[in-house]
């Protein structure tokens, strides 16, 4: 087998397991909020359709006039529940903004308004106010373009390198030696 | 065996495999986020899926940046002509990228993060988020590096004459001196 053939086989041997692994990776079922309720005056509890990761999830509670209530760490409980202790929800209207990451990578975000219905489609202002909510959402166009350019460069260079090369040059190490001049015997 | 003479081709191949593997990890990460719909903290590429601490380790990120910088620096002498120009562009950008990772590592070690952020933050992160910023850095190092590598393996006659390494096979190699 030629050197180029060996390179192609090597690349295929490396890429095949990776492709199989990616093909076998499931797209997780969407995570959804099932129910929400303040438990007593000092805790908000959200129930989801699957287990969520409390370390990666954020929940913030605000009063109707937009004042953020101090909230403790998010904790997970049995039955796909996430709960967060808050300063005091009280009896008045409140808003809960959440961005929750499932244990299988799925995610859901939304805003719940007590007495005012569910604005789960996303209230960007309330979501942006989530403490520790640093990571980005959606597809970043520049990153997509860069990855596509990288892939294009790799494929182009690989194709050019696999193309048979014309051997036209002779390495010259001798002072005064000119290209095209026959080699001395 | 001299790195920039008889060992250049092997070293270049090893460096290329390392670089492509790193880049493939980013591609897998993009696939996990955009095709599989995973949340970003969960999209850790292939190695990060099995060793999650790797992705979070500033030492790992700094180490890779340092390896890239060292490779670009150590392998540069054998590059000639156009290849050397492209390779030098990659080296200069990687030098800055490495500084950014050094500052991230410094923040992680001292616990004092820039701009009052809760996590270590790159200088240019004030303009662009971290994942995207470092993908950008990697791209603008990777592309001139690959072009330089291609031109090194497909040199013109002048570049081949100047190259001290054996990366390109030639029809004949006169080794005798003119009497």
**Whether residue A130 has pLDDT greater than 80:** no
**Residue A175: pLDDT over 60:** no
Q: How far apart are the first and last CA of chain A?
A: 34
pLDDT above 50: residue A181: no
What is the model's pLDDT at position B150? 92
The pLDDT, as a whole number, for residue A183 is: 47
Mean pLDDT of the A105-109 span? 78
| CB pairs < 8 Å spanning A and B | 137
Contact A174 B153 (CB under 8 A): no
Which of A134-148, B7-21, B74-88, B94-108 is predicted least confidently? A134-148
Nearest CA in chain A to B120: A134
| Contact across the interface for B174 and A176, Cβ inside 8 Å | no
Residues of A in contact with B149 (CB under 8 A): 157
State pLDDT tens for residues A23-70. 766 666 678 888 887 655 678 888 988 888 888 788 888 877 777 777
Which tens digit of pLDDT belongs to each residue from B101-118? 999 999 988 888 888 877
B150-163 average pLDDT score: 92
Nearest to B38 among A105, A165, A172 (CB): A105
User: What is the structure's pLDDT at B79?
Assistant: 96
Cα(B19)–Cα(B13) distance, rounded to whole angstroms? 10
Nearest residue to A98 via CA among A79, A77, A118: A118
Q: How far is CA B175 from the centre of its chain?
A: 36
B19 vs chain A: nearest CA distance in angstroms?
Answer: 11
| Residues of A with Cβ-Cβ distance to B39 under 8 angstroms | 56, 101-102, 105-107, 135
Q: How far apart are CA A67 and CA A182, in angstroms?
A: 88
- Would you state the torsion angle of the CA atoms of residues B114, B116, B118, B119, taken in this order, to the nearest 10 degrees? -10
- Tokens in use for A75? 């904790």
The pLDDT assigned to B99 comes to: 93
Quickly count: other Cβ atoms within 10 Å of residue A138's Cβ: 7
All domains of chain A in start order, with CATH:
33-128 (2.60.40.1220)
ipTM of the complex: 0.72
Nearest C-alpha in B relative to A163: B154
Task: Report the pLDDT value the prediction gives residue B36, as an integer from 0 to 100.
Answer: 79
Are A22 and B172 an interchain contact pair (Cβ–Cβ within 8 Å)? no
The pair phi, psi for residue A18, each rounded to 5°, is: -65, -45
Give the CA distances from residue A104 to residues A31, A52, B41, in Å, rounded to whole numbers and listed in that order: 10, 8, 11
At B90 the pLDDT is 97
Counting residues of chain B whose pLDDT is more than 70, the rounded percentage is: 94
CA distance A149 to A155: 10
Output the CA–CA distances (angstroms, integers) from residue B25 to A23, A172, B29, in the order listed: 16, 42, 6
Choose the weakest-confidence range: A30-34, B153-157, B161-165. A30-34
């Amino acid at each position: 087998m030629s050197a180029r053939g060996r390179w192609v086989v090597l690349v295929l041997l490396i890429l095949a397991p990776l492709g199989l692994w990616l093909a076998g990776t499931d797209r997780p079922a969407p995570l959804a909020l099932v129910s929400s309720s303040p438990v007593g005056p000092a805790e908000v509890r959200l129930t989801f359709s699957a287990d969520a990761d409390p370390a990666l999830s954020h929940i913030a509670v605000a009063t109707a006039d937009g004042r953020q209530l101090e909230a403790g760490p998010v904790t997970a409980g049995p039955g796909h529940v996430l709960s967060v202790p808050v300063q005091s929800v009280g009896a008045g209207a409140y808003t809960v903004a959440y961005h929750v990451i499932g244990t299988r990578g799925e995610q859901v975000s939304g805003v719940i308004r007590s007495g005012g219905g569910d604005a789960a489609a996303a209230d960007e202002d309330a979501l942006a106010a989530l403490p520790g909510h640093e990571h980005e959402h959606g597809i970043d166009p520049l990153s997509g373009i860069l990855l596509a350019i990288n892939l294009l460069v790799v494929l182009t260079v690989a194709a050019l390198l696999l193309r048979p090369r014309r051997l036209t040059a002779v390495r010259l190490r001798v002072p005064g030696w000119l290209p095209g001049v026959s080699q001395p015997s | 065996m001299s790195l920039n003479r008889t060992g250049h081709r092997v070293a270049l191949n090893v460096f290329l495999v390392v670089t492509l593997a790193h880049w493939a990890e980013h591609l897998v990460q993009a696939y996990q986020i955009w095709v599989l719909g995973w949340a970003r903290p969960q999209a850790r590429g292939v190695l990060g899926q099995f060793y999650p601490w790797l992705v979070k380790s500033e030492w790992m990120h700094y180490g890779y940046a340092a390896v890239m910088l060292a490779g670009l620096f150590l392998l540069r002498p054998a590059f000639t002509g156009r290849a050397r120009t492209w390779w030098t562009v990659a080296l200069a950008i990687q030098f800055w990228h490495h500084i950014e990772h050094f500052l991230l590592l410094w923040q992680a070690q001292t616990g004092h993060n820039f701009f009052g952020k809760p996590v270590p933050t790159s200088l240019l992160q004030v303009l662009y988020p971290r994942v995207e910023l470092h993908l950008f850095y990697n791209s603008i190092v990777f592309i001139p590096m690959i072009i330089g590598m291609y031109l090194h393996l497909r040199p013109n006659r002048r570049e081949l004459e100047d190259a001290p390494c054996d990366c390109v096979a030639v029809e004949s190699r006169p080794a005798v001196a003119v009497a």
